[in-house]
Amino acid sequence: MRKTLIATAALALLAGTQVPAWAATPTSPADVRVSWSDAASRLMRVTWTDDGAANKLRIEYQGSTVVGDWLTTTDNDFNHRWSVQTGKIARIAVVSTSTTGDSTPAYSPWFDTNVPAAPKLIAAVPQTDGSLRLSWSNSPLPADTTPNDPLDAPASSLGVGAKIWSILDDKEEYFPYKAGTTTAVVPARRHPQYTWVLATNEWGSAPSMRIDYTDMKFALSGVPRFGVFGKPMTISGLAGGLDCQFGGKCRIYPGSGVPLTMQTRASASKPWAYAGRYTSYDLVGFQAESVAVGGREYRFYAPSWKDANGDLIVTAQAISESRYIPTLANFAVVGFNVRTAQVGQLVKLTVDVRPGGTVKGALQRWDGKYWRSVLTVPITKGKAVMYVRAAGRGTTTSYRVAVPGMTYYGLPIQTTGSRSFTLSVR
């Protein structure tokens, strides 16, 4: 009787602690495999076998507690573009899941996520048609830290290419080249543009330093309305690369200095001639000095330019707009020998005007509205001395001497009036 009671109690206890089949956790998946559905777009395929349960997947990294978020699926063939940490060793974990919980995970083989090292830019040379010639050296292939893993692409798949972004158009383009390429010409696009050389593989890309390919711009802010023969004059302005931010806000950026050459010519039918070298700097721009020797056109030439300030800025050679600056005659001496004279007194008029041409000038007086010629003044080699009889008792009159246009070694000198001078008659 006692034995029977003990056996019955034991069976009852055992029956109370058993877990029914419908309450058990799912069986773990098996045979987890990874491959590429499309390596070019980094679309990874994960497959496994299980008993038909729903599943969750995530990416895990060797030696790291950082893991990806669980992704759910009801299919045993899962395609996904994973956001991976590059330069790591990773695997995919798969669990089966049900209302009672998750199975223990099953894992894919380990695979590395190494990306290639960035190309080293050697030169970026603007071309006359607006294209950009690039040359670079390729870095060694990345280390294979999990040899023959299922996601290893062949070494020949290591790519290189150029990516450009036209800032004002907000347009990006990519130009792929054969593996091993070290020089290429990027087609002309609207400037300014950013350009990179990229080394790519199945896990990502590494860019070279950025190239800012832009246009050289000139702002001539201080151009004299005219020059005076034999005297210096200054042309000021700013030259530099067009630096534009997204949205179209632009400025002229001269970096560490833009070398300039000033050029002049007498007319459109004449060739341009060298007239001095200058440098345009940030904030202060440039100031070009010249001596007025006749009316001429002026312009500035900037050669192909580059400036490194974290990124490489390059521009093609460029020429500013031209400005014509006329030249006036230079009256070194002009006027009467006295300021006050008696009626009928002879006063001496002296003229020394440069350049020393032989012309017929005119003594002019101011009538309150206009300068009116009263006497011819014969000027020989720029000089004249003549006597004028004072008239008009009780008057004070303003005078000047005007000379007609002339030339100096083929360069025009404009018709010029001298400063005014007065004569009071008593």
Q: What is the pLDDT of residue 5?
A: 40
Say if strands 330-336 and 340-341 run parallel, antiparallel, or are unpaired.
unpaired
Say if CB 90 and CB 61 are below 8 A apart: yes
Mind listing the pLDDT tens digit for each residue in 265-297? 999 999 999 999 999 998 899 999 999 999 999
Which of 112, 137, 165 represents a domain boundary (last residue)?
112
Q: Of 129, 139, 109, 135, whose CA–CA distance to 47 is shortest?
A: 109
Q: Are residues 151 and 163 in the same domain?
A: yes
The helix or strand, by DSSP H or E, that contains position 206, with its residue range, turns out to be strand 204-207
Mean pLDDT value of segment 371-399 = 96
This prediction has a pTM of: 0.78
Q: 123 is written with which tokens?
A: 């030169």
152 and 100 assigned to the same domain: no
What pLDDT score does 11 carry? Answer: 40
Distance from C-alpha of 289 to C-alpha of 232, rounded to nearest angstrom? 7
Number of domains in the chain: 4
Structure confidence by residue, pLDDT tens digits, 180-237: 899 999 999 998 999 999 998 888 899 999 999 999 999 999 999 999 999 999 999 9
Beta strands in 28-105 (DSSP E): 30-38, 43-49, 54-61, 71-73, 77-80, 89-98, 101-102
Residue 3 placed within a domain: no
Contact 213, 166 (CB under 8 A): no
Query: Cα separation of 335 and 319, whole Å?
Result: 45
Tracing tokens 């300068």 back to the chain, one arrives at 371
Sorted by sequence, the CB contacts under 8 Å of residue 43 that are 6+ apart come out as 36, 37, 79, 80, 81
* Per-residue pLDDT band at 10 (split at 50, 70, 90): very low
pLDDT of 199:
93
Q: Are 268 and 306 in the same domain?
A: yes
Tokens of 204: 């990502």
- The residue from 326, 359, 384 where one domain ends is 326
**What CA–CA distance (Å, rounded) separates 195 from 218?**
24
Residue 88: domain span: 25-112
Residues 345, 173: Cα–Cα separation, whole Å: 87
Alpha helices in 130-202, H assignment, sequence order: none
Please give the torsion angle defined by the CA atoms of residues 97, 99, 104 and 110, in that order, rounded to the nearest 10 degrees. Answer: 20
Residue 18 is assigned to a structural domain of this protein: no
The predicted structure's pLDDT at residue 168: 85
**Within a domain: residue 337?**
yes
Question: Tokens for 131?
Answer: 């294209």
pLDDT for 156 equals 55
Same domain, 415 and 338: yes
Asked which of 326, 357, 372 is the last residue of a domain, the reply is 326
Give the pLDDT band (50/70/90) at residue 363.
very high
DSSP string, 302-335: E-SEEEEESEEEEE--EEPPPEEE-EE-EEEEEE
How many Cβ atoms are within 10 Å of 361's Cβ, its own excluded? 24
Question: 260: closest CA among 234, 282, 242, 286?
Answer: 286
Task: Identify whether residues 71 and 136 lie together within a single domain.
Answer: no
Do 274 and 316 sit in the same domain of this protein? yes
d(CA 202, CA 8): 66
What is the C-alpha separation between 200 and 40, in angstroms, rounded? Answer: 10
Whether residue 19 lies inside any domain: the answer is no
Q: How confident is the model at residue 65 (pLDDT cuts 50, 70, 90)?
A: confident
Q: Tokens in use for 352?
A: 């020394």
Is 5 part of a structural domain of the chain? no
pLDDT at 157 over 90: no
Q: pLDDT value at position 179?
A: 84
Q: Where is pLDDT greater, at 369 or 311?
A: 369
